[in-house]
Amino acid sequence: MLRSTVQSESLKEPELGRAKAVCAQTPAIMTHWQCRWALPWAMLLLLLGFQLLVTHRCNSQEEKDSDTESHFPATVEYALHIFNLQSKDMKAYRLVRILNSWKEQIEDDLAFSMELELRRTEHGKFDEDIDNCPFQESSELNNTINCFFTISTVPWGTPFYLLYKTCLEGFH
């Protein structure tokens, strides 16, 4: 009993009569004990955190590829729509085939560049179902056009912006 009273008295601050913090008297012992248990936990958290970052990065790349795949057909459709709107011809043009295409990341936007082969149809450019309209068969008119478009879009939205367009008539 005497011994505990002595320890208790030694932990009091003489001028204020308050108890001193135990860790203030023995910092080396407490730090060593804490580090011995903290090191394995810190390593575990570090390794798990790295694993989660790698997993998240892989998912993000898959999502970006998925966004690209889902935006490209809409971008081609937009290019064809713009071509028909700007064309002076009253007949609609429809996609024959994609000759070449690639994408670039420009800050937050995706830019798709594409070379498209377009052909004149029998229907007017403001008709409803241009996608199923038959191509115009005529030996007199040159009804095939190759166009190069660059169109930007944001992956999380639907606005498209025509950055560049040039067309050459009569190349097959």
CB atoms within 10 A of CB 151: 23
- Structural domain spans, the chain: 64-169
Size (the chain), residues: 172
Provide the pLDDT for residue 94: 94
Element at 125 (helix H, strand E): none
Domain formed by 64-169, architecture: Roll (3.10)
> Starting at the edge strand that comes first in sequence, how are the strands of the sheet with 160-169 ordered?
91-106, 109-124, 144-153, 160-169
Instruction: Give tens-digit pLDDT for 106-158.
Output: 888 899 999 999 999 999 988 888 888 899 887 656 789 999 999 999 877 77
Provide the pLDDT for residue 80: 95
Instruction: Give tens-digit pLDDT for 16-60.
Output: 555 555 444 545 555 555 555 556 666 666 666 655 444 444 444
CB atoms within 10 A of CB 29: 11
Q: List own/partner pairs for 21-30 with CB under 8 A and 24 or more apart.
A: none
Instruction: Give tens-digit pLDDT for 47-105.
Output: 666 554 444 444 444 555 555 567 899 999 999 999 999 999 999 999 999 999 999 98
Residue matched to tokens 């057909």: 73
Q: How far is CA 34 from CA 16, 26, 115, in A?
A: 30, 12, 65
Residue 124, Cβ density class (10 Å: 0-12 exposed, 13-18 middle, ≥19 buried):
middle
For residues 157 and 96, give the distance between their C-alpha atoms in angstroms, rounded to a whole number. 27
pTM of the model: 0.59
